[in-house]
Chains A and B, each alone.
Chain A
Amino acid sequence: MTDYLFFAVFPYVALAVAVGGGVYRYSRERFSFSSLSSQFLDNRVLFWGSVAWHYGIVLILLAHLVALLFPGFWGRLLGDPLRLAAIEATGLALGLFTLAGLVVLLLRRIASPKAWAVATVMDLLLLAALLLQVATGLYNALVYRWGSLWYLSLAVPWLHSLACLNPDIKYIVPLPLMIKVHLVNAFLLLLLFPVTRLVHIVSIPISYLWRPWQVAVWNKRPIGS
């Protein structure tokens, strides 16, 4: 029954809240769709946290997404022990990189008086949920190897069954607790999406990638010069 609630009901609740809450927030407070960057308050530490975190998590999420959307391709890609080992090692390295970035972000948020002054309870809750997600992901990748491959046969059919509105939890029920925590927490993050700065995921200024250079010009002489 608990498994049914967590893996057949909760994902829909989380998705409904994410979409409904996201649309509601966008219609009421459009300009709050932002990462609320604190880069101006402190940039040196942020660089190490933000760069490691964002590059790491985007690539890791991309791997999860490619395996989910193109299971046949992913299966063929891993159909060789050498390629499997290379992808697992790369994934684990990226996972550690992501964790390092997240820990820096968390410590900076707590240790920097300026960043702490603008932090909210939801920021800390989100950081804690992300930390749990990355930590359990790394734990599962290391202790229950090879996740890149069994993900295809256990998590992907379950996610497909959710997408088809016919949840089938038999793949998930016998799995170890830490894998279940990783799965539930992923949907918890979806739930947190509309009520935290995580909304900035859908406000990515993608045009950064191809727009021309912008030159910022200081038109005020700095004091003392």
Chain B
Amino acid sequence: MMRRILPAMVVAVAISAVSPFHGSAEENAEGGGGKALFQAKCSPCHTIGGGRLVGPDLKGVTTLRDRAWLERFISAPDKVLASGDPVAARLFQEFNKVPMPNLGLDQDQVDALLDYLAAGEETPPQGAKPAAAPAPKGDPSMGEKLFAGEFTFARGGTPCIACHHVAGIAPLGGGTLGPDLTTIATTFGDAALSSALATLPFPTMKPIFGDHPLTPKEQGDLRAFFRKATPRRPAVETTPIVLCAGAGLLALLLLTGALGRRRLGSVRKALVAEATKGGGEGRWVG
């Protein structure tokens, strides 16, 4: 059978190989210069001369650090940090252990960004815009409901609980695909938190929230909720879900056993008893 199916598989592979699909739309749209790249990829977390946000102010970074190091770090910050690089490790500690995500930039994009940074043009932080006009105060209880998905985001974004935990969320806590956000208000600080909520620039979140950003009111409510939650002790508990699932498994096994004992019921049971009477060799099978 395998031998006969194989030609069909080869044809299918060949058809797929010449398929007209190429890269995502986002990849194709990113051919802009360094400034456009900075705005799209870096500005949610960095400024040039506008002070620190989630990450450092990048003013003068090209004179502070070796270009080769910057190239390596911007291309793959996760790998540089994992390699034990002392500068990357120090930055990681200094910026509240928030690692810079791997943005998947190619060499041309990294070069364009470094040229732009070297040119010394200053940019105001994105978070400064809402700060200039006073940000909505926000309702922490509404923020909690938005976080937990009890109220949906107006523009259709995914509730935070899908991937994030905040201590005190009942009954089994929040998700663990993303980081625990219990102390995010103190870890990030106001400016960075506002900027992060406005742009949600993180690699896993960007595709989800790119077309479904949070409204200013939702950002305010969530900010208020995070501020309220920040004194709590972050503690993601895996035990309760494991215990629940274990109990469920036990119940399913008991149910299977109980129903299985009766599976040779009624008519068949009598037939089986008769057929096997006297130690006959043929035992009826199920």
Chain A interfacial positions (CB closer than 8 Å to B): 4, 8-10, 12-13, 16-17, 20-21, 24-25, 28-29, 32, 39-40, 43, 47-48, 51-52, 55-56, 75, 78-82, 84-85, 88-90, 92-97, 100, 122, 142-147, 149-150, 152-154, 157, 166-171, 173-176, 191, 194-195, 213, 215-218, 222-225
Contacts and interface: CB of A to CB of B under 8 A. Distances in A.
20 contacts: A9-B17, A16-B12, A16-B16, A48-B260, A51-B260, A80-B149, A84-B172, A88-B241, A89-B248, A93-B245, A97-B248, A144-B175, A145-B177, A146-B174, A149-B175, A154-B208, A170-B207, A217-B271, A218-B275, A224-B278
A222 B277 CA distance: 9
Given A39-B285, A93-B244, A149-B159, A20 B171 contact: no
A93 B255 CA distance: 13
B152 A79 contact: yes
Interface in B2-48: 2, 4-5, 8-9, 11-13, 15-17, 19, 21, 23-26
B241 A12 contact: no
A46 B158 CA distance: 42
A142 B239 CA distance: 10
B1 A89 contact: no
Contacts of A149: 149, 158-159, 161-162, 175
Contacts of B245: 89, 92-93, 95-96
Nearest to A222: B280
Contacts of B260: 47-48, 51
A162 B151 CA distance: 30
Given A13-B9, A51-B260, A88-B172, 12 more contacts: A40-B285, A52-B252, A75-B152, A89-B245, A92-B244, A149-B149, A149-B161, A152-B162, A174-B207, A218-B284, A224-B279, A225-B279
Most buried by B among A51, A89, A146, A222: A146
Interface string B240-276: 0110111111011100100010010001100100011
A17 B152 CA distance: 40
B176 A143 contact: yes
B104 to A, nearest CB: 7
B177 A144 contact: yes
Contacts of B15: 12, 16
Contacts of A145: 174-177, 241
B281 interface: yes
B171 A195 contact: no
Given A16-B12, A85-B172, A152 B158 contact: yes
A106 B170 CA distance: 39
Interface of B: 1-2, 4-5, 8-9, 11-13, 15-17, 19, 21, 23-26, 101, 104, 148-150, 152, 158-159, 161-163, 169-172, 174-177, 203-204, 206-208, 238, 241-242, 244-249, 251-253, 256, 260, 263, 267-268, 271, 275-282, 284-286
A224 B170 contact: no
Nearest to B170: A81
A146 B26 CA distance: 27
Contact of A150 (B11, B163, B248): B163
A216 B149 contact: no
Contact of B208 (A9, A144, A171, A217): A171
A39 B284 CA distance: 11
Contacts, number: 206
B13 A100 contact: no
A166 B242 CA distance: 39
A195 B248 contact: no
A97 B252 contact: yes
A39 B286 CA distance: 8
Nearest to A194: B5
Contacts of B268: 215-216
A150 B24 contact: no
Contacts of A157: 207
Contact of B276 (A56, A175, A222): A222
A128 B281 CA distance: 36
The 10 closest A-B pairs by CB, nearest first: A93-B248, A222-B280, A92-B245, A149-B162, A16-B12, A174-B203, A89-B244, A225-B278, A153-B158, A85-B172
